[in-house]
Amino acid sequence: MTNEPHAGYIGMPTLHAFDYYIEAHLGPAPSPVQGFALGSGHPIEVPVYTRAWPFPSRWTHNVVLNEAKESAWLASSAGDDATPSECAWAREGVWAWNQDRQRPTVLKEGYFSKFPCRPNGWREGIQSQEKCLREEGGKAEFYRDFYWPFVARWQELIRSKSEEGKMVHVETVPNQFCPDWPDNIRPKNLVFSPHWYDLNVLFNKSFGFMSLNVQGLAKGMFFPRAVYFGDAQTKDNYTLQIGNIVRAAHDKLGEVPVVIGETGFPMDMNGGEAFKTGNFRRQERMMDALMTALERNMVAFNLWTYNPSNTDEVGDDWNYENFSWFSHSQLDPRLRTGAQGAELDQGCRLNRQVVRPYALRTAGIPLKLEYQSRTGAFFYQFANPAQTQSTTATEKNSTPAQAPPQTTSRITEIFLPPWLAEASSKGKLVISCSDGTVRVDETQLRVFWTHEVTAEGFVHEIRIRYKRRAGMEGIRPFWWLVLLVILSMLVA
């Protein structure tokens, strides 16, 4: 509906500063009242923040903005003698310019956190339901008093112009948990579609051996507990943060579909190093961590972004972003026009991390999915529907506890990436399952699994992996490492 809404000033308890832990501070960072004064044509000295560690940024110096004394407000009359009209918030008595001190003064500190008391009462035409929520002098809440009513009116307009049954995707402020949302004002056929990004990577455009739980830090988490090292812990970090958003949505909304409406990361991070060297290892690691977290939480998502016009130099040609995991810069020049079929994969920067096996259709309740992009090992687990779903499964997979309808088929269909399908056609793929039969169709890139046990609550499992070479079946990954070290020493 609305892309990444924001409360703006609504609900702010003070006009002297933005919350450092919620609003990004980078570059010149005027306070709300300083912003009002700047817009009114006053030169203002404001703090400047630069990237830092361990926190995202820190104050380094001050700078004077708007030394030209330009006003953002339209002139009140035409001609050379036109004077800027007054700032709307100054006209409301929220602030005033102190001529003696040459700085703005806040007159109504909590102006945006409560509804004003008007001498003549509420304006005509306001609905009675809104008036109940918006009592004069009462606390103002962004969602309850503004965003939810707006969503309700928007969906009524859309419904009047479209056919019944359309799903309505609505998101909240990015990376925040779902707030209270009364049933009577939710859109029909709602799909909750929050956005999630690793704000530390987004802010610094850098990814290395460590990640931060920014979500936890924003809520006061002790810093050492928010630090994760290595790829495995990065996956755990992302799994936790995305899982928190999904669980909070189900806690507030109940049996409502949840789709991560947008997630991804900048391909030009670490100073665009990968564009110069051709080594996208950092991007591969982060994409694998992100995709793994989404899979572990069993949540649908939109991966931002696929841009068929992307190049390393121009990026996505939008807002200075370069998020596309496809780029013409990765294509052979001979294929930049007219590429077809598998040739198009050449433009995919992170093909092995983006294209992954997954269940297109499941004859039951999905419980768990794990995929190792390095080894090609895939694990999928689902259960037969039962009248009462187990609490354990619900907690593990962040799914609602209500019993779903009974299934009408025993066939589960799994997509195979081309490289796994090719391995299968050469007899190099091993597929094992808890029960039933499996059929692989390499041309359609599909695994068709027909389970046998139909008892309520029975848990089915399937594993897909590359076949180990003869004589190596019993060797565990740890001993592979030991053997590699020994061979390296012998060669040296």
Residue 118's pLDDT is 54
Return the closest-CA partner of residue 31 out of 21, 16, 50, 47: 16
Mean pLDDT of the 161-188 span: 90
Q: Calculate ∠ Cα 32-37-43, nearest 5°.
A: 120
Among the ranges given (294-298, 400-404, 471-475), the one the predictor scored with the smallest mean pLDDT: 471-475
User: What are the tens digits of pLDDT across the range 272-296?
Assistant: 999 999 999 999 999 999 999 999 9
Return the closest-CA partner of residue 107 out of 93, 88, 87: 93
Count of residues for the chain?
Answer: 492
* Active-site entry in 4, 136, 156, 395: 4
Residue 327's pLDDT is 92
Residue 176, SS3? Answer: coil
* Active-site entry in 141, 171, 262, 295: 262
Using pLDDT thresholds of 50, 70 and 90, give the confidence band for residue 16: very high
**142-163 exposure pattern, b = at least 16 Cβ within 10 A, e = fewer:** bbbbbbbbebeeebeeeeeeee
4 catalytic per annotation: yes
171 catalytic per annotation: no
Residue 126, SS3? Answer: coil
User: What are the tens digits of pLDDT across the range 59-91?
Assistant: 999 999 999 999 998 876 555 454 557 899 999
* Residue 267, C-beta contacts closer than 8 angstroms, at least 6 positions apart: 274, 280, 283, 322, 323, 324, 325, 327, 349
Q: Which domains does the chain have, with CATH numbers?
A: 27-116 (no CATH), 142-304 (no CATH), 358-466 (2.60.40)
Q: pTM of this prediction? A: 0.84
User: What are the tens digits of pLDDT across the range 406-444?
Assistant: 778 999 999 999 999 999 999 999 999 999 999 999 999
Residue 290, SS3? Answer: helix
**Could you tell me if 286 and 200 are in contact, meaning their C-beta atoms sit under 8 angstroms apart?**
no
